Amino acid sequence: MNEELDNHIHKLRQQHKLSQQELADAIGVSRKTISTVETGRFTPSVVIALKIAAHFNVPVEQVFALK
Amino acid sequence: MEINETRSKINETRKKINARLGVVTPEIEQQYLAYTGKISVAAAVLLLMSVAQEFLGDKGSVMYWVLGCTMLSGVILVLLLSIKSIKFYRYTNRLGFWSLKFQDEYADYVSASSLRITCHIMMFGGFQLAILGDSQWFLEFLMPVGLTDALLALLGVAMLTHGVLILWKLREEDAGE
């Protein structure tokens, strides 16, 4: 678990009615990448963070935030 | 609802096209990484059992035969996994086939972190064996096995660590869909 980073991917997915697989396919990563980022077990690169934010059409700060 | 169905159909079609064109998808990279983990574990069991057999010495004992059967299972498993992994050969040029470097970030993170720990084990163990290898007391300490068996045991531990770490990090969990 990342002690410093919080994310709102699960909430955003639910709002957009997206599964992890669909989000993963949309940004070109594996479902495992999404699930581990979501649960805080893996910290993604800036590129993935920006791709997720762009997919939900929100600033990256609305997806990831420091605790 | 319709949007989701359309999206799923588009993704399914995309997957079929990718498979036909031989595109390396993140899923293929993770499958390949999982195979390398399984092969590492099977090969490690093989090596460790062979050292254990050498250590045991008594060829007539039940334990010797149990270890022999485990070794045979390891050989069969390595062969089966190798045959099954033939499906990845078509991606050899693009997949991190030898380098174990992957495009998918999580696969690459799992691969790199398990290789890092394996490298530390090999360096530390290899250094010890290189320093102590010629000492008479060390060779006596290793008896009844020799320096080669000690090296095989080190290789076995390193491969076991590599495989177990990969399989552990790629394990299926409640994904919170």
Per-residue model confidence as pLDDT tens digits over A6-20: 899 999 999 998 999
Contacts of A24 in chain B (CB under 8 A): 26
**Interchain CB distance below 8 Å, A30 and B14:** no
**Interchain CB distance below 8 Å, A24 and B109:** no
What is the structure's pLDDT at B112?
94
Of the pLDDT bands very low, low, confident and very high (cuts 50, 70, 90), residue B174 is low
- What is the least distance, in Å, from the CA of A38 to any CA of chain B? 9
Checking if the pLDDT of B47 tops 70, the result is yes
Instruction: Copy the structure tokens of residue B99.
Output: 């380098």
The answer to whether the CB of A29 falls within 8 A of the CB of B106 is yes
The answer, for B104 touching chain A at a CB cutoff of 8 Å, is yes
CA distance A53 to A63: 6
Of the pLDDT bands very low, low, confident and very high (cuts 50, 70, 90), residue B109 is very high
* Residue type present at position A20: Q
* Residue type present at position B115: L
Helix (H) or strand (E) holding B26: helix B26-56
- B99 or B109: whose pLDDT is higher? B109
CA distance B84 to B165: 21
Name the percent of chain A lying above pLDDT 70.
99
Name the percent of chain B lying above pLDDT 90.
31
Least confident of B7-16, B104-113, B157-166: B7-16
CA distance B124 to B142: 18
Please, which residues bridge with residue A65 across strands?
A6
**Interchain CB distance below 8 Å, B26 and A28:** yes
CA distance B157 to A44: 30
Please provide residue B150's backbone torsions phi and psi, each rounded to the nearest 5 degrees: -60, -40
Checking if the pLDDT of B169 tops 80, the result is yes
Model ipTM value:
0.85
- What is the least distance, in Å, from the CA of B29 to any CA of chain A? 9
Q: Mark B101-121 as b/e (b = at least 16 C-beta within 10 Å).
A: ebbbbbbbbbbeebeeebeeb
Tally the residues of chain B.
177
- State the average pLDDT for chain B: 83
CB atoms within 10 A of CB B134: 9
Residues with Cβ < 8 Å from B77, sequence gap 6 or more?
Answer: B38, B42, B45
- State the average pLDDT for chain A: 91
What is the structure's pLDDT at B38?
93
Q: What is the mean pLDDT of residues B139-151?
A: 82
Of the pLDDT bands very low, low, confident and very high (cuts 50, 70, 90), residue B140 is confident
**Interchain CB distance below 8 Å, B4 and A17:** yes
What is the structure's pLDDT at B29?
86
| Among the partner residues A21, A28, A39, nearest to B176 by beta-carbon distance | A39
CA distance B5 to A62: 27
**Interchain CB distance below 8 Å, B26 and A39:** no
Q: What is the mean pLDDT of residues A22-51?
A: 92
What is the structure's pLDDT at B22?
66
Question: Half-sphere exposure of B40 toward its Cβ, with a 13 Å CA cutoff?
Answer: 22
Instruction: Copy the structure tokens of residue A17.
Output: 């009615």
